[in-house]
Structure 1
Amino acid sequence: MLSRLDNFSRSRPGRLVALLNRWAHREWHWIVAIAWLIICAVYLQRFGSAMHYMALGDTDDNMRYLQVRDWLNGQSWWDLTQHRMNPPQGANIHWSRLVDLPIAGLMLFFRFFVSDVRADQLALGVAPLLPLLPLMLSLAFLARRLASGGHAWFIAMLLPLGAEMGLSMFMPMRVDHHGWQLTLTSVALAGLVDRKWVRGGVVAGVASAASVAIGMEMLVYLAGAGALVALRWIFKDGAERRMRPYALSLGGTTAIGYAAFASNANRLPMCDALSPVWTSILTLAAGVLFALTLLPVRGWPQRFAAAAVGGAIVLGFAWISWPQCLTGAYQLSPELQNKWLIYIREAKPIYVQAHTTWVPVMAIPAAGMLCALAGCWAVRRDIERLWAWGTVALMIAFSIGLCFWQIRAGPAAQLLAIAPLACALWAFIVWLFAGPGIWRRLVAIPGLALLGSAASAYPLYPKAVGYWRTTVANWIDDEEEEEEESREASRRLTATSAALPPRRVATASSTQRKGSATTSASVSAASNAAQSKPKPSPAGSASGRCRSQPALAALDELPPATIFTMVDLGPRLIAITHHRAIAGPYHRNEKAILDVHHAMDGAPENFRAIAAAHGATYLLVCPGFPEGTIYQQRSPKGFYARMMRDETFPFLSPVKLNFPTVLPFQLYRITPMDAGKGASQAGK
């Protein structure tokens, strides 16, 4: 084998391969950029119809689009209130303007060439793909840092295509901020393991602070990154070369983020955004980290003691200054948690999800964690590489642990696990084609199969489950039925054998076997018939049509009005039409959310009073809408459940709209009621 490889390397094709290998190592970042452009072209073509119909599927995507559009139409940079939701007060949105910048820039750029509507469609398609490039670059960088050579980075840049939950945050029309936060977390991890300590510290600090300026969702990961920087300083002489630039960039970028992007509402001490609360905590933490690097301490015990004192100072400041934030960032009342939050699927832990959800989600993180542990063992004698592998392993373990709190940690767990998984895949490929010894090839084949299955869990697992249900499970059931029938036949023959002559026994046994086979065939046929029976269409199909642009655009033939509808339909309604809504799924607007729930759960008179208090003149309901099923199950005698049973109420009049087909939703005009009287009754 070695002689054949040596002969190949001396041949003309071998020299060409060596030349390409050197070029790929030198220009790897350009290869990543080219791959990103190809991926963008494929997804933009695939999502062309969604872009045309403004198919913003998530409530946050619709609200982000509104936020950018309102700013371009003249709303203040510092005003993030959505004035067409919960009028006249408006809805308090806790986001920042940082993610609005690329979306707005693309809108303005495309308006030079196409209409404003088409420019918005193109911008909403392109904007989510922008953070995919730095994500691919950071994952490739991590793989290059962990591996001792080779091209694991090439696998790492492509593996996000298999991390469906993580990749979904970068798809066209997914303009919410989660894609940027996932990218910045990956960039921060790349900075932690960078061999160039100053550059790595700056990158990690800037990425961490920028992520916090966008939102607080990734704060726990970034706190873990800061702890790893401090831990490295404790046990490694000279590690202040990374911690000092990290502290300066973290504190400086946090201050800039607050000054430039915090809204008027976030100038107050809020716990769920970059406000005076987290600005003061993070800048103090950065100052403590910087001060630690200036102390004349030697040896890890002294550094550990100094770090413990510094950590106590930061925690003590947070405890004394902002005690209200210690109970939770979102500050939700028990009623809002019980009526609203507990029904949000992404806020539930992984262990309450169906296996069809958690197995594909956890396949890549679990495989990546095992690969990271194996990598730590393989490089255990190289302290620098062990630190890099250990850092990645700890971040993966941390993200997997967070999945047992909320499944929304799944995308980060998938993406952080990619680099060690790519390194293991590349190692197995090398073993398979150039490994010294047959045993390595024998190990490489099942290793590639297992890791490849983990990386392809999203398409493979449903097929495996379907095969099990349609083939293996049926075969097992048939075997069990035949065994049971055989045992029953044996019991009958034993009971009658004393009274029957031997020839009759044999005949009865033969007849029984025929009967058993006939019965088994009948059961199998009935089972197959039951399985082939068509299933009813899922109720969610109507839900998707209610959100569609053509259906909602029909509402614009009515003059602008306040439409009472479900919480999760509010952002989409105001994004597509010129109407106003009562509430959206944004926790700072607790009263509006609870008003909708109280109206749907309560008596019809209570609904009318709440609608009057909000100035609503129309009611829009969507049969089969997921939120509506909650009202029906929770309050079967409530207003919404009664409407779904086709009960009529004198204060509701059906409204007909000009639409070529049957509209998926039902629209009613609400008979006016005195607003003061409505507010009085709604408060009872």
Structure 2
Amino acid sequence: MPNKTDVPAEGPAFQEICWPWLARVKAWHVWLVYALLIGGLGASRIGVMKLYGPDDYMRLLEVRDLLAGQGWFDLRQYRMNPPIGADMHWSRLVDLPLAFFIVLLKPLFGQPLAEGAAVIFVPLLELGCAMALSAALLKKLGTSQVLQVTGATLVAFFPMLIFNFSPGRIDHHGWQAICLLAAALCLVRINSPRAAFVGGALAAVQLAISLEGLPLVATLAALYGLVFVLWAIPAVVWFLSGLALFSLVLFATAREPGAYQVLHCDVVSWPHLVAFAISALLAGFAVRLFREKGPIWRAAGLLPLPLVAMPLVYGVLGVCAINPFADLDPFLKQEWYMQIREGMPIYAQGVKAVTTVFWVGGLIIAGYVSIVRGDEDRDRRRAWMLLFLLAIVAWILSLVVYRSTIFAQVLAIPFAAVLLGIYLPRARAISSPLLRIVLTIVCGVAILPLVTSELVAKVGNQPDDAPPPQVANGRNSCVIKDLGKLKPSHLFTTLSLGASIIASTHHTVVAGNYHRNGEKIREVLLAFEGNPANAERLVKANHADYVVICARLPGGKGETARRRDSLINNLQRGDVPDWLQPVNGLGHSLLRVYRVR
């Protein structure tokens, strides 16, 4: 019986009824077109080193410091809260691709151009990886070459994916999504012990990059356990072995010797390593003792894994085991962390984000229902089922923490590609020209969350979900490089501007949006948003030479506070306290600078 992922139930194959030349297109052709287009569009943006956000600037600073001689184990940013510095929990793994391109190109073009090229090439490299993995996953799932290329193409039409794979976006989220997608490719190769071991290694890399991937790594382990319970395939042992071994290797190369016993909520610590190792050993015993028995016995054999591993981690780390921000001060959690939209649940998002999230969930479910109906290949049905379960968990996670949407979107690609392969040929086969054109457009729009969310926002007359950029060129933005006209100084600025200021100028700042530095974050929040009577004391206690803000756009968004008489609101209205003196002549942007008297 024909497989619906290759040939629709009615009519000829996808490439025959749509566009025959698609059969000659490869995934790398699609990437090359996108790379030239997106890279070209991003070149002017990078010429002035305009990155997407504070974390991108901070990533560049981490790479600069590493290449300037700062130690591999030393992640502290010393130009934030000097001379103590700001403690960072990031992984050096994400620094390596950027450092490679900068070292390679610096002798030829100098440091500024080498950095500019690196922040273009690395996201495009990530885009190429995502496209290649999407095509490889669809190939393993039994689809035609045309649908494999379709999957690669769709990567650029999912909003969270194209955002994280665009020039100037060098944060860690893109690499995490790539690790998950590669682990999913290993997962669907359920009969390969080598693939399962590599999948465990990839899960370890994902956790080393950021511990926020732990729920999905746990889901992968559970799915490998399900494979053993249902089909007696012992891949769970290989997955957990790869996870335990590579977690240990990455832990040893990321932590300074002598600090292995230090516990942190936001990175892999020794309790995780012990739990992974014990789980691998218990899985090995379960496979040896119960593989030849029935599903109930195999399930009972794996039951000790969570019963031992979870209490071990929770017993040592406490609430940190399930919440990396558990040790955050209640004031900071309420006044700072809960105000960062990407870390909030779906109900805190705008209409475009909500539409995208639920549309992606619909694509996953509709795609899976369409696939399994009529496909009698047992191994393929199993592979699709495992991918579906992983994608659904990722989607549920995106409802709880919005930034996890990138995981759901990258796993939704195969389902969206197959839906397009099933229904677009049917629309193209309709004899009526008008109806054929209309349904062809509907098929394309329905598969693309990027288009759908934009249409919903336009029809509903809803504003953009994202705030306007604060760091750019022009009168309607803040030109941070204008601060270079001042002599090197210590600046008291809002949290969102801190990283971009120290990346673009010779100044130092008090704090940025990095949670391990809670005391300084608190002081900045209290000074700008709290009782204005305390602002002068807090600013001068930090020995700041200047106060810097980004002014509100007329009638638009900008940094403000709920307290009407706060310092930030007073400055936005032009009501400058007598202990500050406005500094003029730095440019014509929205940047506002005040000398501390």
Task: State the TM-score bracket (shorter-chain normalisation).
Answer: 0.7 to 0.9
Match of 2:182 among 163, 174, 187: 187
CA contact (8 A) 1:140 1:157 kept: yes
Q: Supply the distance in 1 between the matched residues of 2:254 and 2:572 (Cα, whole angstroms).
A: 44
Tell me if 1:251 matches 2:244. Answer: yes
Q: Deviations over 1:566-621 (max 9, x none)?
A: 01110111110111111111111111111001111234441121122222111112
Structure 2 partner of 1:560? 488
Structure 2 partner of 1:33? 28
Unaligned runs of 5+ in 2: 1-15
Q: TM-score, normalised by structure 2?
A: 0.88
Equivalent runs, 1:66-145 vs 2, <5 Å: 66-145=61-140
> Relative to structure 1, is the Cα distance of residues 649 and 340 closer, same or farther in structure 2, using a 3 angstrom cutoff?
same
Match of 1:647 among 575, 587, 590: 575
Tell me if 1:666 matches 2:592. Answer: yes
CA contact (8 A) 1:369 1:417 kept: no
CA contact (8 A) 2:477 2:589 kept: no
> Relative to structure 1, is the Cα distance of residues 174 and 114 closer, same or farther in structure 2, using a 3 angstrom cutoff?
same
Structure 1 partner of 2:4? none
Structure 1 partner of 2:10? none
Q: % of aligned pairs identical?
A: 27
Q: Deviations over 1:244-297 (max 9, x none)?
A: 332222111111111112368786211211232433333333333334333355
1:226 positional shift: 1.0
Q: TM-score, normalised by structure 1?
A: 0.77
Equivalent runs, 1:25-424 vs 2, <5 Å: 31-147=26-142, 149=144, 151-194=146-189, 197-237=192-232, 239-240=233-234, 242-262=235-255, 268-297=262-291, 298-326=293-321, 328-330=323-325, 331-379=327-375, 381-424=376-419
Q: Deviations over 1:391-423 (max 9, x none)?
A: 121122112212221221222111111102212
Equivalent runs, 1:378-527 vs 2, <5 Å: 378-379=374-375, 381-429=376-424, 431=426, 449-463=441-455, 466=458
Structure 2 partner of 1:593? 521
1:433 positional shift: 6.9
> Relative to structure 1, is the Cα distance of residues 469 and 38 closer, same or farther in structure 2, using a 3 angstrom cutoff?
closer
Secondary structure, in 3 states, of the residue corresponding to 1:559?
A: coil
Larger RCO of the pair (alpha carbons < 8 Å, separation 6+): 2
Q: Supply the distance in 2 between the matched residues of 1:619 and 1:19 (Cα, whole angstroms).
A: 60
Q: Supply the distance in 2 between the matched residues of 1:343 and 1:299 (Cα, whole angstroms).
A: 50
CA contact (8 A) 1:561 1:580 kept: yes
> Relative to structure 1, is the Cα distance of residues 652 and 433 closer, same or farther in structure 2, using a 3 angstrom cutoff?
closer
Q: Supply the distance in 2 between the matched residues of 1:266 and 1:164 (Cα, whole angstroms).
A: 39
Secondary structure, in 3 states, of the residue corresponding to 2:52?
A: coil
One-letter identity of the residue aligned with 2:349: Q
Going by fraction, where is helix more abundant, 1 or 2?
1
> Relative to structure 1, is the Cα distance of residues 290 and 578 closer, same or farther in structure 2, using a 3 angstrom cutoff?
farther
> Relative to structure 1, is the Cα distance of residues 150 and 429 closer, same or farther in structure 2, using a 3 angstrom cutoff?
farther
CA contact (8 A) 1:539 1:625 kept: no
Q: Supply the distance in 2 between the matched residues of 1:233 and 1:640 (Cα, whole angstroms).
A: 58
Q: Deviations over 1:55-104 (max 9, x none)?
A: 11211101000000001011111000001111222111111100111100
What is the CA RMSD across the aligned residues, in angstroms?
A: 3.2
1:372 positional shift: 1.0
Secondary structure, in 3 states, of the residue corresponding to 2:108?
A: coil
Q: Deviations over 1:524-570 (max 9, x none)?
A: xxxxxxxxxxx9xx994666559999932232233322100001110
1:452 positional shift: 1.9
Q: Supply the distance in 2 between the matched residues of 1:125 and 1:431 (Cα, whole angstroms).
A: 40
Q: Compare 221-230 and 137-146 and name the one that shifted more.
A: 137-146
Q: Supply the distance in 2 between the matched residues of 1:447 and 1:290 (Cα, whole angstroms).
A: 53
Unaligned runs of 5+ in 1: 1-13, 471-534, 672-684
> Relative to structure 1, is the Cα distance of residues 559 and 461 closer, same or farther in structure 2, using a 3 angstrom cutoff?
closer
Q: Supply the distance in 1 between the matched residues of 2:51 and 2:576 (Cα, whole angstroms).
A: 33
CA contact (8 A) 1:254 1:283 kept: no
Q: Supply the distance in 2 between the matched residues of 1:549 and 1:109 (Cα, whole angstroms).
A: 33
CA contact (8 A) 1:110 1:119 kept: yes
1:375 positional shift: 1.7
1:338 positional shift: 0.9
1:201 positional shift: 0.7
One-letter identity of the residue aligned with 1:373: V
Q: Deviations over 1:291-323 (max 9, x none)?
A: 433335522111111111222111121232222
1:442 positional shift: 13
Which of 1 and 2 has greater Rg?
Answer: 1
> Relative to structure 1, is the Cα distance of residues 251 and 448 closer, same or farther in structure 2, using a 3 angstrom cutoff?
farther
Secondary structure, in 3 states, of the residue corresponding to 1:90?
A: coil
